[in-house]
Amino acid sequence: MRPLFYTDILLKTPPYPIAAAGVLRILHAGFTLAPGRYALALPEYERGLGRKLRVFASSRDELDELVDYLKDSTKLHQFGELTYPATVPDNYPGPWAQFKRFRIPSRKAERKQDGTLRLRRMAEADAQALPYFPISSHSNGHAFRLYVTKLAATDNGTDCQPDAYGLSVSSRAFSVPDLP
């Protein structure tokens, strides 16, 4: 996947983190139907999650497929509205950004009985004031926070391989255009 086309989802229901989480749940379902085809960006990251989510795709047809999937979602219409798809300018010089999932291990994943890795990672996320989506898993019912960190990046020319939330992960790092 190359981030050549994008559409924005404008959140219309405060509180915006709750609306953003509602939209992300719907996007996650669509992203899992077409793994690795869509990347997520937070254009207003400096203000937390902001009022806008951006979805990138390689082609207009791929964006249209996602829009077709989303158009009948009453939840999407409750929380946000899609904008008309746009094209990333040819030979976009930058800036580029990496929107990366900041992992916090589950309690079960703690390596030591009285380990502090989970607590340290949570404190680190809070100290950096990282924005997060309050999410609940459909597979196990557990609630968790999906923290996102933004890193300055360059277009490394490689294909993007987003996770099921459209984010970059350590093993498959990629960047997207950091458009306003």
- Residue 61 maps to a domain: yes
- Residue 122 maps to a domain: no
- Residue 114 maps to a domain: no
What is the average per-residue pLDDT within 104-131? Answer: 81
CA distance 135 to 81: 20
The helix/strand/coil state of 86 is: strand
The overall average pLDDT reported for the chain is 89
What is the average per-residue pLDDT within 105-121? Answer: 75
The predicted structure's pLDDT at residue 163: 94
Dump pLDDT digits (tens) for 40-59: 999 999 888 889 999 999 99
Q: Which CATH number characterizes residue 79's domain?
A: 3.30.70.2540
The predicted structure's pLDDT at residue 109: 66
| Count of structural domains, the chain | 1
- Residue 118 maps to a domain: no
What proportion of the chain, given as a percentage, has pLDDT over 70? Answer: 95
pLDDT band of residue 111 (cuts 50, 70, 90) is: low
The predicted structure's pLDDT at residue 162: 95
Question: Is pLDDT above 90 for 11?
Answer: yes
Per-residue buried b or exposed e for 114-138, using 16+ beta carbons within 10 Å of the residue's own CB: eeeeeeeeeeebeeeebbbbebeee
Q: Which residues form the domain of 77?
A: 5-102+129-177
- Residue 153 maps to a domain: yes
The predicted structure's pLDDT at residue 32: 93
Please indicate, yes or no, whether the overall pTM of this predicted structure exceeds 0.85: yes
